[in-house]
Amino acid sequence: MSANAGPVTRPSPPAGGPGVRRGILGWARRRRSGVRGAWLAAAAVVAALVVAPLAGVLASLLDPSTEVWRLLWETRLVEMVASTFVLMLGVVLGTVLLGGGLAWLTGVHDFPGRRVLSWLLVLPLAMPAYVLGFVAIGLLDAPGPLQSAVRTLTGAQGALFNPRSMVTAVVVFVLALYPYVYLLARAAILDQSPTPYLAARTLGLGPTAAARRVLLPLARPALAAGAAIVAMETLTDFATVQYFNVTTISVGVEQVWHGMYDRGAAAELASTVLVLAALVIGGERLLRGRARYDQRGGGHGIPPIRLRGRARWLATAACLAVLAVAFVVPVVQLGLWSLDAESLGLGRQFVGHMANSALLAGVTAALCVVVGLVVVNATRLSRDWFTPRLAAVANLGYAMPGPVLAIGTLLLLVGVDAALGAVGIEAGSALVTGSVGAVVFAYVVRFLALSSNSLDASLERVSPTTTMSALTLGARPLRVARRIHVPQLRSGIGIALVLVAVDALKELPIVLLLRPFGFETLSLWVYRSAAEARWELAGLPALAIVAMACIPVVTLFRLQLQPGTRVAEPQAPAPASSSHRRAGARRATRRPRP
Amino acid sequence: MTSIRPRRRGPRRLVAAMAALLVLAGCSSAADDDVVRVFSARHYSLEPAFEAFAAETGVDVEFLYGGDTELRERIAAEGEDTIADVYLTVDAGNLWLAAQDGLFQPLEAPELDGAVPDNLRHPDDLWIGLSRRVRAIAYDPEAVDASELSTYEALADPAWEGRLCLRRSVDTYTQSLVASLIAAHGVEGARPVLEGWVANAEIYNNDVEILDNIAQGDCDVGIVNHYYLARLLDEDPDFPVELFWPNQDDRGAHVNLSGGGITAQAPNPDTARQLLTWLATDGQSAFVDDNFEYPVNPDVEPVELLQQFGDFVGDSINADDLGSHNREAVALLAEVGYE
């Protein structure tokens, strides 16, 4: 009966055997129908809250600024869309190869330093792309140390190359963003049962072929979730790309808004970013077809392949090289810059900035995980076609350039304030920008996709039949969510907390526009210095962001991803396996579309 | 069968504590007699100047910095709920727009009459300039003789092909300079100049990059704000780049204004007026010297280091007119394919 259960995220009801159907329908009849309605309602509320700040901005689409569009069409639009596509494609491919490759290397192989390297490789997550961007220009530009050294050695004159190019931009983004893919892919590999892989090996496939034909397909939801995150980060970036003279649509948004003072036209342009993001995510789902990735039994990980001879040291060297370029070199450069600074600005202020950053990151991460859990559970527990759509809508905030989301939130809160005022409730400035509440709200809207993508990738490994069995046996949906989904989602929850917390530490445009008076953070300090090209003053706060972001990253690894303390212990099989004892092996069934 | 025990290790307590902190962090009162709140897109040397003001007058200055556009949008959106008394920007375009949108109230401060020249303040007294940042030509003395330089327009000459370094079109200083060309020559008159620039130039992300590349020998000339070079010369007096004041025989060098006004809904208009007046008079040096900018007040001497740049004639166009051309400038930059 389990084999016929429909995929979780499909709108169509499962073509289940009579037993299942009777059970489910029976359950629905027995329980008050309101219980399930509550999940639908919760998902609807979340989706509405995410859409509300976007709607204020997108309302301008109803009255398009034809003049600006005509100008864009005649001038830069084609180029902007093309650069955006090329950049996104390059970065997604690069991060999937690098992040996925490193996850495969550290997850399935044994080589010197593997355990330490496997978590050190997450550290570049802590390095904001805009910081890596200005470090890269500083190091690689004609007056920088690299070209100067080469000129001194060779006696060459003039610039050897110009680092302001699409290629450098792609490399910088890949180095800054690969940890998103790496983290999710690594969790997927570690949570896998070795059986299919070992079976493939027994049947004569070499390690690489077995990885390609078994591990890779099973890791696909994780790779896709990581790639979607990376694509959206790239699409909505408007600062890093400018170091490299790459004019994406998000840069165009800034140009139209700041230079032509046309917020409406800027919002219309920003909505094309949304469309692109929707295409990316929808495209992946479409390619995935009806394949399912649920697995049964606790994951024990693949027994590591012991690398021999030169390969061992090559593996170590490869990991070290990535770590050096993406993390060590920029950290050293930032350190040198902050040594140059006349005054470091240490003191009371600095501690306050750090505390504010930590507070925002902590609250946002916790809220995003809670809301994300509601969204993924609602999707899983609901059986209508509507809830998964709502869940997809709830991810839209991440696909909107930060400044546009910030102004959308501002306009929304002002509208709510006015509406409250009309019915006699005077909220004053408190509701709008009088507290950090506005920032936290916008953060949750923006980063919800990070947490729900991580949770969703985790939940893909839980068979829908497990959920159904539990429901059939009479458990209430909330109990199913709490007792079955959440425990199995622990690695997803850990990753979601880290991704959101780290992204919130790095976030700039929203906190810049919406923060209350006197509330300053580290990222604002970096911005203030970098905006006027005072790298030496930006070094210290940038390092502080990196150091703070390392805390959740390291904690995650110590708690969850070290072998032996992983999510599903062999001796404590998850309910999934207990209800399907006979099916010892996991599946990655790919069935043709009907 | 193993049961999964949900673990709760005090996350609720943590969440409650964080929520309490959030509320506390958001507390701030609005109207006081001895405070003035500033929304500032200007970042430099605010703290020392504001501290000096507080010491002299007993009025505390609280400020929030941000982007020019974002702060203007926020003041507009907050309307009568705003707690901003003063809006300071580094961009004439946003001053013009804020005045257009009714975000300022008249300054009505007679002390300002001699202190700020007419072309550096709003015709209807809605805002004043506080410091001048001159968009000048920087050059490599080893590759260029000062006699080869004359005007911004002349840099469009094919003689400068591959030798000119400019800043991106997204940048407000680039837009403002083009707006001044449009004000002088009209859109069609400015077009060939921009086309020449595009044919000649390499584009950089900020003025410091341009100056470093001139020093290194990769660019021969560039257009930069004068204080970036002053800052580099302050660190290294031998920094091998020279400054040239363009257009001295016609309209003068283009001046970017940093300025501000009292917001229309200011809770504390009196302290706001007091602060702006002080910044334009007694506080001029404290406000501009740290960043090597030129004061607007003709009675105030610029900081010593600027003497080596010599005197200059600034474009006398009113900054308000400049702002009105910014939109056309952005359109023209896009049309000629300026990166």
Chain B CB contacts of A435 below 8 Å: 22-23, 25-27
The angle, 0 to 180 degrees and rounded to 10, between the axes of the packed helices B172-200 and B92-100 is 130
> Looking at the complex, does the CB of residue A333 fall below 8 Å from at least one CB of chain B?
no
Instruction: Please say if the pLDDT value at position A5 is more than 60.
Output: no
Instruction: Please say if the pLDDT value at position A594 is more than 70.
Output: no
pLDDT computed for residue A35 by the predictor: 57
Q: Is A473 exposed, middle or buried (0-12, 13-18, 19+ CB in 10 A)?
A: exposed
Tokens 């809250």 appear where?
A49
pLDDT computed for residue A428 by the predictor: 60
pLDDT computed for residue B221 by the predictor: 96
Contact A259 B327 (CB under 8 A): yes
Q: A40-55: buried (b, 16+ CB within 10 Å) or exposed (e) per residue?
A: bebbbebbebbbbbbe
> Looking at the complex, does the CB of residue B97 fall below 8 Å from at least one CB of chain A?
yes
Lowest mean pLDDT, pick from A437-441, A558-562, B306-310: A558-562
Average pLDDT rounded to a whole number, residues B218-246: 94
Pick among B72, B163, B218, B227 to test the A interface (most A CBs inside 10 A): B218
Instruction: Please say if the pLDDT value at position A269 is more than 90.
Output: no
Nearest to A143 among B69, B78, B216 (CB): B216
Contact A435 B27 (CB under 8 A): yes
Average pLDDT rounded to a whole number, residues B199-228: 93
Q: Is A348 exposed, middle or buried (0-12, 13-18, 19+ CB in 10 A)?
A: exposed
pLDDT computed for residue A36 by the predictor: 66
Q: For residue B136, give the nearest of B120, B126, B149 by alpha carbon.
A: B149
The pTM of this model reads 0.83
Which residue type, as a one-letter code, is found at position B6? P
Of B98 and A426, more confident: B98
Chain B CB contacts of A141 below 8 Å: 209, 212-213
Instruction: Please say if the pLDDT value at position B11 is more than 70.
Output: no
Interface confidence: ipTM more than 0.90: no
Calculate Rg over the CA atoms of chain B. Answer: 23
Instruction: Please say if the pLDDT value at position A295 is more than 70.
Output: no
> Looking at the complex, does the CB of residue A269 fall below 8 Å from at least one CB of chain B?
no
Instruction: Please say if the pLDDT value at position A364 is more than 60.
Output: yes
| Contacts with B, A 505-564, CB within 8 Å | 509, 512-513, 515-519, 524, 528, 531-533
Strands B254-263 and B86-89: antiparallel
Q: If you measure CA to CA, which chain A residue comes closest to B23?
A: A435
Instruction: Please say if the pLDDT value at position A579 is more than 70.
Output: no
Tens digits of residue pLDDT in A433-463: 677 888 999 999 999 999 998 888 888 777 7
> Looking at the complex, does the CB of residue A261 fall below 8 Å from at least one CB of chain B?
yes
Pick among A151, A166, A255, A353 to test the B interface (most B CBs inside 10 A): A255
Average pLDDT rounded to a whole number, residues A9-14: 40
- H helices then E strands: how many in chain A? 29, 2
Place A9 in a pLDDT band, splitting at 50, 70 and 90: very low
Instruction: Please say if the pLDDT value at position A394 is more than 70.
Output: yes
For chain A, give the mean pLDDT. Answer: 80
> Looking at the complex, does the CB of residue A39 fall below 8 Å from at least one CB of chain B?
no
Q: Is A591 exposed, middle or buried (0-12, 13-18, 19+ CB in 10 A)?
A: exposed
Calculate Rg over the CA atoms of chain A. Answer: 25
pLDDT computed for residue A89 by the predictor: 94
pLDDT computed for residue A297 by the predictor: 53
> Looking at the complex, does the CB of residue A436 fall below 8 Å from at least one CB of chain B?
yes
Contact A247 B339 (CB under 8 A): yes
* A256 CA: distance to closest CA in chain B (Å): 8
Chains A–B, number of C-beta pairs less than 8 Å apart: 176
Of B248 and B47, more confident: B248
Q: Report residue B203: phi and psi, to 5°.
A: -105, 135
Average pLDDT rounded to a whole number, residues B185-197: 96
Most confident option among A400-404, A500-504, A570-574? A500-504
Of A537 and B279, more confident: B279
Query: Which residues, listed in sequence order, are joined to residue B138 by a DSSP beta bridge?
Result: B222, B243
Instruction: Please say if the pLDDT value at position B29 is more than 50.
Output: no
Place A318 in a pLDDT band, splitting at 50, 70 and 90: very high
Lowest mean pLDDT, pick from A487-491, B5-9, B58-62, B140-144: B5-9
Place A429 in a pLDDT band, splitting at 50, 70 and 90: low
Contact A518 B170 (CB under 8 A): no
pLDDT computed for residue B253 by the predictor: 96
Tens digits of residue pLDDT in A507-553: 988 998 888 888 889 888 888 777 777 777 788 888 888 888 888 88
| Contacts with B, A 473-492, CB within 8 Å | 482-484, 486-487
Pick among B1, B14, B24, B28 to test the A interface (most A CBs inside 10 A): B28
Q: B134-145: buried (b, 16+ CB within 10 Å) or exposed (e) per residue?
A: bbbbbbbeeebe
**Residues A451 and A283 sit within 8 Å (Cβ to Cβ):** no
Average pLDDT rounded to a whole number, residues A558-586: 41
Contact B78 A532 (CB under 8 A): no
> Looking at the complex, does the CB of residue A348 fall below 8 Å from at least one CB of chain B?
no
Of B93 and B60, more confident: B60
Contact A164 B205 (CB under 8 A): yes
**Residues B175 and B327 sit within 8 Å (Cβ to Cβ):** no
* A286 CA: distance to closest CA in chain B (Å): 35
Residue B297 structure tokens: 């007040």
Tens digits of residue pLDDT in A164-219: 999 999 999 999 999 999 988 988 888 777 788 888 888 888 877 887 888 888 88
Nearest to A513 among B2, B62, B70 (CB): B70
Query: Which residues, listed in sequence order, are joined to residue B314 by a DSSP beta bridge?
Result: B253
Most confident option among A516-530, A560-574, B205-219? B205-219
Q: If you measure CA to CA, which chain A residue comes closest to B216?
A: A143
Cα–Cα dist A418/A424, whole Å = 10
Tens digits of residue pLDDT in B147-186: 999 999 999 999 999 999 999 998 889 999 999 999 999 9
Tens digits of residue pLDDT in A57-103: 777 777 787 778 888 887 888 889 999 999 999 999 999 999 999 99
